Structure formats: structure tokens, C-alpha cells
Amino acid sequence: MDEIQMVRDLYDRPAPVPAHKVAAARARLDRLSRPSRRRLFGGSRLLPFGLGLAAAATAVTLTVLSAGTGPEVETGQDSGRRLLLAAAEKTGHQPQPNGRYWHVRIQVSDLLLFGTQSNPYWIKTHDRLEYWMARDPEKPGWDLTQHLGAEPASPADAAAWRRAGSPSPFENKRLPDFHAAVTPGPGKATLEQSDPSLEILTGRPFSLRQVFALPTRSDELEATIRDYLSRQAEHNGEDPPDDARIFDFGSELLVRAPLTPQVRAATYRMLAGLHGVKKAGAAKDEAGRWGTAIAIGGGTDKDGNHVPQFRLIIDPSTGQALADQTVVQKSDTKVPAKPGAAFTSFTMLESGWTDTAPK
Amino acid sequence: MRAANDAAVIRESRDVPERFGAIFDAYFAEIHAYVERRIGPENASDVAAETFLAAFRKRDRYEPARASVRTWLYGFATNLVGKHRRGEVRALRAMDRIAGDAGSIAGDAGSEELEARIAAEGLRGRLAGALAALSAGDRDVVLLVALAELSHEEVAAALDIPYGTVGSRLNRARRKLREALGGTNPLLDLEEHDG
């Protein structure tokens, strides 16, 4: 009598896992494993080929900011708060919802580590991400994605690339059985109809309807966001959100969500009240616009792991949020990364309500 | 070859975390099947997903010399299944009960074929009941051998228990299963005790 075989026979072979369940599980892993927050939308959708490729190749990338790379001065914290509170006062000219679609055009820039183990170099890539989210939650929207181009990140990287024989497209040969290539020139734009319930923020199911329901008091707003992120974290088996996560979430809202002037002001006030917020000096975004960077986080955690710093670049004269970035101050890889480098930047180029769909 | 490749991917994923996705792609279906058989379809996707999240977080501690990546993943999956132990045991007991009810009407079945089927059902039920009655540690060993088809050495690595413990747990479990099936052979038991 073979009890083991009998036990085996006792269990029916389960049916294949439905594709959407596989995708959802993969998305949970991706949220944890992809340091680049380049995915504009949530984890449940697959990226267009070029983007997925680039994201897969991302290790630690750097966007050198023009200032704020040294240790923060004592006054960084206070001046950061002041700047955010001042931005809250500038109610700006955020349009009321009066079009059929919320339209945002964003440039995503990352630095990808390419070349070989012995001759690595950083390539800076740029992608266009554009979306039209229908105000009517029953109606579909549109996403447009396009690779805009790539170039060596610095003269030193360009030299390493030339040593490699100036391969074009840029090739990644660091990993066996993994071949990524990024073209220096722009690729074709891909326009896709998007899910009506699509999330507006990176990798989190947060819909326009939820944006419209955000409270206008900063303490209530913080409680709402903290509660939302806590539930997300619990579902993903992650640590509860710290202030850096709240900051990151608030930054994304400011950069890309259709906030009313009241909610926008409340968001700035909420950021000003977070622990460890500081001014990180003048900074130029990827579109070449100058602003002031407000930062939170960075350094190492209790296990000695590197903690990314989140930055929000705002135009202090208008209170407009220009870009949000994730910055590394020290590379975790064997390849040295420059201090003050961002592995992903989301630069807001255009946003507003429109009646015109792209198709 | 595959094990060496997997180990290389884990190593790379320490620098390039997204690389871990390749481990997911290679093993999710298999881990899901194992988890689903143990705790049912309702929570299987969650537990299977959590298996990969847990492994990802511990990827720095993976030692290729101790276990293949596949074995290592079964360790996480089995630990997480442990959190759903009550559900697993309840399902096995239900299987036993349903089979028992069927057995009680076997005499009235009327056809030999049906009677045989019902008898087989009864056997399955007793086996399920015996599995439910095993200690959690013994059941883990049995099911890693039966469902995941791990070797004793791999079970030891997956559960982080000594090799000898795997053998003794398995012997104890087999004896109980055999008793439940009505096929106890005391001599066979004695032999296995020595091993």
C-alpha cells in the first residue's frame, strides 16, 4: 500500500489559475520589486513592451539635480514648511471640472544601468505618458505611451558607451538570458482605451471619484490618505505607511490629479506637517524649469537598507507642482551612483479638463 | 541547470529587484496549485502571491547551497499555508463526513459498480480524515512529499528541520494513514521504525 500515492490521488489537480489572478499577484510583487515608480497606472495592467523592458532594466538611476546635494542646513526643515504653506496660499488657477476628460501629459525619465559588468554606463531614458480619464466613471478613457528617446547620462557614461563600441540601440548585457535594448530615438506612440475605473496614481487603485471625495481640511485629508495607504499596505503585506509614503502620495496628487483649490491647499498643508520634510534647494526639472525641491526620507533604515528620498519640485512663485522624483543618495549596486540622483522623475508638462478625446 | 539559473536570478535580484519577476513567472502556477490543493481556491491566490512577496523580502538570505529556489519557495508557501490550517483541516474533515454519509447507504446502492465507487469514496474520506488528524508538522511533510514531490532532503531544507526529522515524521504519518485505511501491518511498522 502506497499511502503517499493515495494521498496524491486524493487531491484533484486544480484548474489553471485565471489570468487576471496571476496578473494581480504579479502586480503585488511588482509594486514591491520595482524601485522605479514609472508605471503610471496600477499594477493590474501590463505595460507596453518598451516600457516594461525599460522598467525591468532599471536598477538605480540618477537625475542629477542642480542643487541640494550636500548635507541639509539646519534651516532646511523650517524653510521647507514655510515654502509649502506659502504654496497652499497660492490657490492658483486650478480649473473646476468642466470637461469630459481629465487630461495629463507627463514625461517619465529614468536612468537605466546598461553595458556589461566590467564596463557599465547609465542611460537616461524619456517616455511620454499621457492619459485622458473620463469624468463619468462609467465611460472609458485613453492612455497614450511613447518612448521619446535616450542618451548617456553624463560625459563619463558616454565615454564608457563608446568604449563598448557605441552600440545603438543601447544594449544591456549585464544579465544572462536578459536582453534589453533602448533606442536613442523616439518610438511609435501607442494609444489604448483604458478602464473606466483606472487609477490615477502610480500603482494604486485610486480613481477620479476618490479624488473628488478628498476632504478639504488637511488633518482629515491626512487621515483619509493614511487610512487608504494602511489598507493597501496590509493587503500587500507591507509595513504601515510612514510619513515619507504620505508625502509621496500627496506629491503625486499635486502633480497629476485634478484637485480643487481647497484640496490642493490642504494637500500642501498636510505635507508641511509631516515629520522630516525639508527644503532641498533649487532644482531644475526634466523639462528644464527651475523650482524648489521639498524632500522627505533618505538615509538608511534600521537594517542598513537604503531608503529612497521623495522629492517634490514646486514653482514657488505660483505654487504649481512641477515634478515628483524618487532620489537615491547612495547606490545599492556595485556601480557608483552620484549623490542626489533620482531613479525616476515624473515631470508634469500639461494638465487640464478637456472635451476632446484623442480618438 | 535550472537551479543554477534560478540562483543566478536571485543573486541579480539583489541589485536589480525587478529580476525577481522571473522567479514569479517560472513558479507561480506550480506554487498556486500546491496552495490551492491544500487550502482551497478561495484564499489560494492570496497565499500564493504572499509566498513570492515573502521570498522577495528574504532574497538576501537565500543560500543556493542549501536548497533550490523551487524548494525554498515551497518553504514559504508551506509556512503561509499554516496560517490557514483551520480551513485546511475543516475541508479534510468535511470530505471525510461526506464520504462517510455515502458509505452508510452503500448497501442500498443496488449496483456493484456504484457500490465500488461508494466504497472508494469511503476510503478517500477516511484518508482525508486521517490527514486532518495529523499534526501540522507531520501533514506538511506528507504533503510536500505527495503534492510537491520533494525529496526528504528537500523537505528538510524547505521546512528548515533536520533530515532525520523528515524521516521520522513521515513514518509516523504513514502509519496513521495506513491505520485509518484499515491496512495496518505491525511488522512493516517495526521495520520502518528502524529506518
Query: Could you say which residues from 197 to 256 on chain A have a Cβ atom under 8 Å away from some Cβ of chain B?
Result: 236-237
Q: What cell numbers appear for A26 in the block?
A: 504579479
N- to C-terminal Cα separation, chain B: 32
CATH number attached to the domain at B134-195: 1.10.10.10
CB contact under 8 A, B33 and A14: yes
CB contact under 8 A, A237 and B53: yes
Taking the CA of residue A8 and the nearest CA in chain B, the distance in Å comes to: 5
* A8-17, A260-269, B122-131, B165-174, range with greatest mean pLDDT: A260-269
Closest by CA position to A137, among listed A196, A64, A212 = A196
Contacts with B129 from chain A: Cβ below 8 Å: none
Fold designation for B1-83: Rna Polymerase Sigma Factor; Chain: A (1.10.1740)
CB contact under 8 A, A25 and B20: no
Q: What is B152-174 written as a DSSP string? A: HHHHHHHHT--HHHHHHHHHHHH
Give yes or no for residue A354 having a pLDDT over 70.
Answer: yes
Give yes or no for residue A339 having a pLDDT over 90.
Answer: no
Average of pLDDT values for B88-112?
69
Taking the CA of residue B15 and the nearest CA in chain A, the distance in Å comes to: 6
Per-residue pLDDT band for B87 (boundaries 50, 70, 90) equals confident
According to the model, what pLDDT value does residue A268 have?
96
Q: Is A179 an 8 Å CB contact of chain B?
A: no
Contacts with B56 from chain A: Cβ below 8 Å: 29, 32-33
According to the model, what pLDDT value does residue A247 have?
95
Please say whether the beta carbons of B37 and B1 come within 8 A: no
Dmax (CA) for chain A in angstroms is 82
CA B112 and chain centroid, separation: 34
Cα–Cα distance measured from residue B174 to residue B179, given in angstroms and rounded to the nearest whole number:
9
Please say whether the beta carbons of B127 and A7 come within 8 A: yes
According to the model, what pLDDT value does residue A183 have?
84
Contacts with A332 from chain B: Cβ below 8 Å: 15
Q: What is A135-186 written as a DSSP string? A: SSTTS-EEEEEEEEEEEESSHHHHHHHHHTT--SSEEE-SSTT--EEE-SS-
Write the pLDDT tens digit of every residue in A161-195. Answer: 999 999 888 876 654 434 456 788 998 887 877 76
CB contact under 8 A, A35 and B145: no
Q: Which residue of chain B comes nearest to A35, CA vs CA? A: B17
CB contact under 8 A, A56 and B19: yes
SS3 state of residue A115 = strand
According to the model, what pLDDT value does residue A278 have?
92
For residue B26, what are the contacts with CB-CB under 8 A and spacing of at least 6?
B6
Q: What cell numbers appear for B133 in the block?
A: 488528524
SS3 state of residue A118 = coil
Please say whether the beta carbons of A128 and A34 come within 8 A: no
Q: Is A28 an 8 Å CB contact of chain B?
A: yes
Write the pLDDT tens digit of every residue in A127-145. Answer: 888 888 888 877 888 888 7
Provide the phi-psi class of A191: left if phi over 0, else alpha when psi is between -120 and 50, else beta. beta
Taking the CA of residue A15 and the nearest CA in chain B, the distance in Å comes to: 8
Contacts with B49 from chain A: Cβ below 8 Å: 24-25, 28-29
According to the model, what pLDDT value does residue A91 have?
64
Q: Which helix (H) or strand (E) holds A348?
A: strand A341-354
Per-residue pLDDT band for A43 (boundaries 50, 70, 90) equals very low
According to the model, what pLDDT value does residue A222 have?
97
Please tell me which of the candidates A5, A10, A29 has its beta carbon nearest to residue B20. A29
Q: Is A23 an 8 Å CB contact of chain B?
A: no
Contacts with B48 from chain A: Cβ below 8 Å: 17, 25
Cα–Cα distance measured from residue A182 to residue A111, given in angstroms and rounded to the nearest whole number:
11
Strands A120-134 and A101-115: antiparallel
Taking the CA of residue A1 and the nearest CA in chain B, the distance in Å comes to: 8
Looking at per-residue pLDDT, the higher value among A63 and A14 belongs to A14
Burial call A204-239: b when 16+ CB within 10 Å, e when fewer: bbbbbebbeebeeebeebbebbbebbeebeeebebe
| Residues A67, A287, A204: CA angle, nearest 5 degrees | 95
Q: Is A45 an 8 Å CB contact of chain B?
A: no
According to the model, what pLDDT value does residue A174 have?
55
| Residues A139, A222, A274: CA angle, nearest 5 degrees | 130
Taking the CA of residue B50 and the nearest CA in chain A, the distance in Å comes to: 7
Q: Which of A1, A2, A36 is most worth mutating to test chain B (most B CB atoms within 10 A of its CB)?
A: A1
Tell me how many residue pairs between chain A and chain B have CB atoms under 8 A apart. Answer: 111
Please tell me which of the candidates A1, A21, A58 has its beta carbon nearest to residue B18. A58
According to the model, what pLDDT value does residue A203 have?
54
Of A75-79, A120-124, A207-211, minimum mean pLDDT range:
A75-79
Global ipTM: 0.86
According to the model, what pLDDT value does residue A303 have?
64
Q: Is A30 an 8 Å CB contact of chain B?
A: yes
Q: Could you tell me the residue ranges of all domains in chain B?
A: 1-83, 88-129, 134-195
Cα–Cα distance measured from residue A100 to residue A78, given in angstroms and rounded to the nearest whole number:
41
Q: Which residue of chain B comes nearest to A238, CA vs CA? A: B53
Helix then strand then coil, in percent of chain A rounded to 5, is: 30, 30, 40
Please tell me which of the candidates B15, B124, B178 has its beta carbon nearest to residue A59. B15
Give yes or no for residue A96 having a pLDDT over 80.
Answer: no
Contacts with B53 from chain A: Cβ below 8 Å: 28-29, 32, 236-237
Write the pLDDT tens digit of every residue in A75-94. Answer: 477 888 999 998 888 865 55
Taking the CA of residue B95 and the nearest CA in chain A, the distance in Å comes to: 10
Mean pLDDT for chain A overall:
76
Q: What one-letter code names the amino acid at A115? A: G
Residue A201 to residues A37, A163, A257, A324, Cα–Cα distance (Å):
10, 40, 8, 12
Q: Could you tell me the residue ranges of all domains in chain A?
A: 18-354
Q: Is A96 an 8 Å CB contact of chain B?
A: no
Q: Which helix (H) or strand (E) holds A354?
A: strand A341-354
Give yes or no for residue A330 having a pLDDT over 90.
Answer: no
Average of pLDDT values for B86-101?
79
Write the pLDDT tens digit of every residue in A217-236. Answer: 999 999 999 998 898 777 65
